Structure 1
Amino acid sequence: MTRPLSNRFVVISGCSGGGKSTLLAELARRGHDVVEEPGRRVIAETLAGDGSALPWIDIQAFARRAIEVSLRDRAEAQRHKGWVFFDRGLIDAAVALEHASGKPVAESFCRKHRYHREVFLTPPWPEIYRHDADRRHDMTAALDEYERLLAAYPHLGYDVVILPKASVEARADFLLERLGA
């Protein structure tokens, strides 16, 4: 029996540099379907072409593009039958747009496009945080974003589960056990 979309679309969000992408790679290695972070794809597309939809130039344009990519990701993920794990996604992008614009947009997106009721957040983990070409912000900005997400998800009707600071294998085991997968 196939689960409804909202029950099998699982968001992994949390602090920037907290190990989300590494965890998603482990879940993919174990045979699960994963969706890469929309923001990183928006950055790559923008840098390959032209435009200013970059978080360090125009955060609102960046967040709008991330919302578009997230909606497309959700539509494409419908073809998968089992668990689908999202590296961030629609809600993170909507929260970013809401923060940048001051306009309430997250709730309308969230009402229409639900994910699994439990959202898994990576906590701040300064020991593994690294800058890269796409992650130009510092740990203070990462903590600010984390606090916004930590408040937004419960407000939008989700149960937040904080992932342990552990090996990637232990994190994947924890997440899959929590889901009963």
Structure 2
Amino acid sequence: MNRFVVISGCSGGGKSTLLAALSDRGYAVVEEPGRRIVEDETKGSGSALPWVDMTAFARRAVAMALQDRDDASRYEGWVFFDRGLVDAAAALEHVSGEPAVERFCQARRYHKRVFLVPPWPEIYVTDPERRHGLDTAMAEYDRLLAAYSPLGYDICILPKTGITERADFVLQMLAGDEPAQ
């Protein structure tokens, strides 16, 4: 049983807020590779930004997601990922045509249940790291649904509820699968 749990889905759907709530409850959380890359690239004169060079950005996200998986083994119990390797590989596959999902994701599994936040137009906003619009976010969501399903993951669409209820929902869904220490 894998204790690495992915929270993925539509940009701007509340993933990061949910993960902050899980962190506040004492769970290990791995921040989204994309936001870390954007932050790092904008500090210097980097070009691996989604609005400059999406292929370079996606390649860097794959490398970071692989490193995140390795680094997360130091934690005990559930480890929640704000996106993960499948997300990065699906982005790389989309922009480059490379079979990245198959190449990187078959042997590197997460917990069988993946939680996806659905498009939620009422809360969607752009920010300095998320410059794309809702249409782009929804297309990405569709690609993620298409990427996770063939890999055999059980996709659980998160309800559009308050953050406490969402965190409770995730933990209740995992309650029967307590991770081995």
Equivalent position amino acid for 1:127 in 2:
E
Counterpart-to-counterpart distance in 1, 2:125 and 2:36: 18
TM-score normalised by the chain length of structure 2: 0.95
Determine whether 1:105 maps to 2:84. Answer: no
Counterpart-to-counterpart distance in 2, 1:30 and 1:101: 39
Counterpart-to-counterpart distance in 2, 1:157 and 1:59: 27
> Any unmatched runs of 5+ in structure 2?
none
Determine whether 1:69 maps to 2:49. Answer: no
Q: Pick the aligned partner of 2:139 from 141, 144, 161.
A: 144
Match of 2:3 in 1: 8
Q: Pick the aligned partner of 2:173 from 157, 178, 181.
A: 178
Q: How far 1:110 moved relative to its partner?
A: 1.0
TM-score normalised by the chain length of structure 1: 0.95
Give secondary structure in 2 for the equivalent of 1:107.
helix
Q: How much identity, in percent, do the aligned residues show?
A: 63
Match of 2:86 in 1: 91
Q: How far 1:49 moved relative to its partner?
A: 1.8
Counterpart-to-counterpart distance in 2, 1:112 and 1:57: 31
Determine whether 1:43 maps to 2:42. Answer: no
Q: How far 1:51 moved relative to its partner?
A: 2.2
Q: How far 1:107 moved relative to its partner?
A: 1.3
> Any unmatched runs of 5+ in structure 1?
none
Give secondary structure in 1 for the equivalent of 2:80.
strand
Counterpart-to-counterpart distance in 2, 1:44 and 1:112: 29
Aligned pair count reads 176
Moved over 4 A (4+): none
Q: How far 1:50 moved relative to its partner?
A: 2.1
Equivalent position amino acid for 1:9 in 2:
F
Counterpart-to-counterpart distance in 1, 2:151 and 2:34: 21
Counterpart-to-counterpart distance in 2, 1:141 and 1:128: 15
